[in-house]
Amino acid sequence: MAVYITDLEIHNFRSCVSTNLELTTFTALVGLNNCGKSNCLTALQWLVRKAKLGVEDFNDPAVPVEVLGRLTGITDEDLRILEAKHRAKIEPHVRDGVLRIKREQPAPGVDTVLTVIDPETDQWVPNPAGIDNAISALFPDPIRIGAMEDAEEDASKAKTSTTIGKLLASMLAAIQERHEADLSPHLTAIVGMISAEGATRFDELGRIDESINQKISDLFPGIRIKLDFPVPVLNDLIKAGTVKVYEGDGRGRAFGSYGHGAQRAIQMAMVRHLADLKRGEAAAGGATLLLVDEPELFMHPFAIEQVREALRVLSDSDYQVVFSTHSGQMILAKDAKNALLMTKKHPAGTRARPRLVSVVEQLVEEPTHQLHQIFSLTNSSQILFADKVVLTEGATELRLFPSIFKAVTGKTLGQASLAIVSLSGVSNTRKSMDILAALGLPACAIVDLDFAFRHAANHGFIEQDDQDIVACKGILARLAQEGAITLNPENGLPTKGRTGPASKAFELLAGQADAVDYVQSLVQKLRAHSVWLWSRGAIEPHLGLSAKSEHAWLTYQVSMENDGLDIVCPDAEGVRALVNWLIEAPLATAAAH
């Protein structure tokens, strides 16, 4: 893998008062509009390509702007590709393949300064001569694909600085290498015709020179001029490239003359072609930063998937891809653990919540459980776009709760910024809530009655010798003696047997008159820990469902939409209470576990 930036610190740049980002080769920045995602992309670009910042780029004009980066993966081969003078500037500051750099601008409008850490003293080396050029030699020119409101301005700039120009330059490098020898003689011929020293210079140019020189001699004797027209080399021609867009048999039109939808489609198609060219490649030197604002804009769902995969391919070759997004389709489960959830609050400014993978590594010690836990939370990227997270194991909740929520509130889960995420097992409930709390995401859980008996004490939600559990076990023993349920002799809890599954035994327990008060007490104890316990054993008795199947769920959903929740649900009041609890409860107790 090429050299890339793993850690980024941004200070006093626009909304980034003090922002820290942990980057991989494929990093998504997720957050609401105006939370500073684009500012982070711009700061990353500024770190490796200097530019003077104006007063509008300073959060506080009296304080310097600083952007610090950790360049990782530098090898001897990477250093050997640099010119000797550039290598001499960088090599002493590289330790274990890492180079730490800082770009600073003390005040608006003044020059920037690039410094590096001396690995021997761990101090910043003030302005090493030529280090900026050395960094530029190590890192290719970044490619920034901005928001579409910037597209028209982008298309009007000098071609070497546009997104289209940079994409073309990246894609046409092979053409330059293969055909430069073929084109050079033709360019040389043109130089001879129009340059001041050309051997086959056009006669018309000579006559113009002579006429002007006669007039100069009257004003300033002893000097003369020749008109000169420099001819660009092939590299300049490629950098100045653009695209023309054709519809039907009409004439070609400039890229900038089309609407945002067409422009975005063209940009993303070029990104996909670049990915095809780079598939499987790996180059020495720094990765090219590909920074994209909302690649999903104006794309239909199928196109979004294609763009996501193209960016993924580039990140596996010699590109470091960092993008902002509002689309869950841009983030697969394997990428969710490294995505950065961006927020902005005054006066702290733009912040990134800890990465999911970092939190899991801190909170889950056992490696097998760690992988299990990551899967449990990242099997849905919904958590990246939510303000609250509901954890549940039950298939019925996952299948029907979105429709139930809409029936009660008139809003979708997304409109309420609420995500419902499947757990691979309720034994992970407490750890999942701790992880989400560490991310700054309030979380709660919906569990069946058996959770209170099998896991609640181990999670610290109730005491090991909880008297409600003891009393209920006595009732379970009576039911077993009556032949209504089967108990495991080792723990005295229901197990699968001739009387049916264990889940039915807990539903039967919940329906016993002498168990109601004990179950309600357990409900309240778990509610204090942001855990909703179904008091009838599971969700199905509350809804009036007799089966767990797609047919049963679909039939129930259609009936609810046609007839309303109060008609189809025997415990509509209890279901409404759950929905209202999810909306109104602060869920702060999850962070205090």
The pLDDT tens digits of the residues spanning 299-321 come to 888 888 988 998 998 898 888 99
My answer on whether 314 and 364 are in the same domain is no
Element (H, E) at 117: strand 113-118
| Any domain includes 261 | no
My answer on whether 374 and 338 are in the same domain is no
Q: Count the domains in the chain.
A: 3
Please report, for the chain, how many H helices and E strands are present, in that order. Answer: 24, 18
My answer on whether 401 and 549 are in the same domain is yes
Q: What is the pLDDT of residue 585?
A: 67
What share of the chain has pLDDT > 90, as a percent? 49
pLDDT, tens only, 87-138: 888 899 999 999 999 999 999 999 999 999 999 999 998 767 778 788 887 8
Q: What is the pLDDT of residue 154?
A: 47
| Any domain includes 63 | yes
The amino acid at 402: P
378 pLDDT exceeds 70?
no
Active site residue 576: yes
The whole-number average pLDDT for the span 527-554 is 95
**Residue 149 pLDDT grade (very low, low, confident, very high; cuts 50, 70, 90):** very low
Cis ω for the linkage preceding 347 (within 30 of 0): yes
Token pair belonging to 64: 């310097």
- Given 349, 383, 403, which residue is the final one in a domain? 349
My answer on whether 321 and 360 are in the same domain is no
Q: What is the pLDDT of residue 369?
A: 56
Q: What is the pLDDT of residue 100?
A: 95
The whole-number average pLDDT for the span 29-45 is 93
What is the total residue count of the chain?
A: 593
My answer on whether 451 and 551 are in the same domain is yes
Report d(CA 168, CA 166) in Å as an integer: 5
Q: Which residues pair with 289 in a beta bridge?
A: 320
Mean model confidence pLDDT for the chain? 86
Among 75-79, 458-462, 467-471, 560-564, the least confident range: 75-79
- Given 321, 349, 377, which residue is the final one in a domain? 349
The whole-number average pLDDT for the span 250-264 is 79
The whole-number average pLDDT for the span 344-358 is 87
Task: List b or e across 502-525, with b for residues whose CB sees 16 or more CB atoms inside 10 angstroms.
Answer: bbbbbbbbbebeebeebbebbbeb
Are 30 and 356 contacting, i.e. CB atoms less than 8 angstroms apart?
Answer: no
| Any domain includes 509 | yes
Q: What is the pLDDT of residue 254?
A: 78
Handedness of CA 568, 573, 576, 581 (dihedral sign): negative
| Any domain includes 271 | no
Q: What is the pLDDT of residue 158?
A: 39
Domain range for 68 is 4-158+278-349
Q: What is the pLDDT of residue 592?
A: 42
| Any domain includes 270 | no
Q: What is the pLDDT of residue 515?
A: 97
My answer on whether 151 and 177 are in the same domain is no
Token pair belonging to 447: 């569990």
Q: What is the pLDDT of residue 280?
A: 61
**Residue 370 pLDDT grade (very low, low, confident, very high; cuts 50, 70, 90):** low
My answer on whether 364 and 502 are in the same domain is yes
Q: What is the pLDDT of residue 79?
A: 87
What share of the chain has pLDDT > 70, as a percent? 88
Are 6 and 72 contacting, i.e. CB atoms less than 8 angstroms apart?
Answer: yes
The whole-number average pLDDT for the span 525-541 is 96
pLDDT, tens only, 452-510: 999 999 999 999 999 999 999 999 999 999 999 999 999 999 999 888 899 999 999 99
My answer on whether 320 and 191 are in the same domain is no
Residues 6+ positions from 324 with CB-CB distance below 8 Å: 28, 29, 30, 31, 37, 38, 41, 292, 293, 294
My answer on whether 143 and 207 are in the same domain is no
Catalytic residue, from 95, 272, 399, 576: name it: 576
My answer on whether 533 and 466 are in the same domain is yes
Q: What is the pLDDT of residue 159?
A: 46
Report d(CA 441, CA 445) in Å as an integer: 13
187 pLDDT exceeds 70?
yes
| Any domain includes 264 | no
26 pLDDT exceeds 90?
yes
The whole-model pTM stands at: 0.74
Report d(CA 114, CA 68) in Å as an integer: 10
| Any domain includes 565 | yes
pLDDT, tens only, 389-437: 999 988 999 999 999 999 999 999 988 889 888 876 777 788 888 888 8
- Given 304, 325, 349, which residue is the final one in a domain? 349
My answer on whether 425 and 363 are in the same domain is yes
pLDDT, tens only, 191-247: 899 999 889 999 999 999 999 999 888 888 888 889 999 887 777 776 666 778 888
Are 445 and 530 contacting, i.e. CB atoms less than 8 angstroms apart?
Answer: yes
Are 46 and 379 contacting, i.e. CB atoms less than 8 angstroms apart?
Answer: no
| Any domain includes 272 | no
My answer on whether 339 and 401 are in the same domain is no
157 pLDDT exceeds 80?
no
Q: What is the CATH number of the domain that holds 313?
A: 3.40.50.300
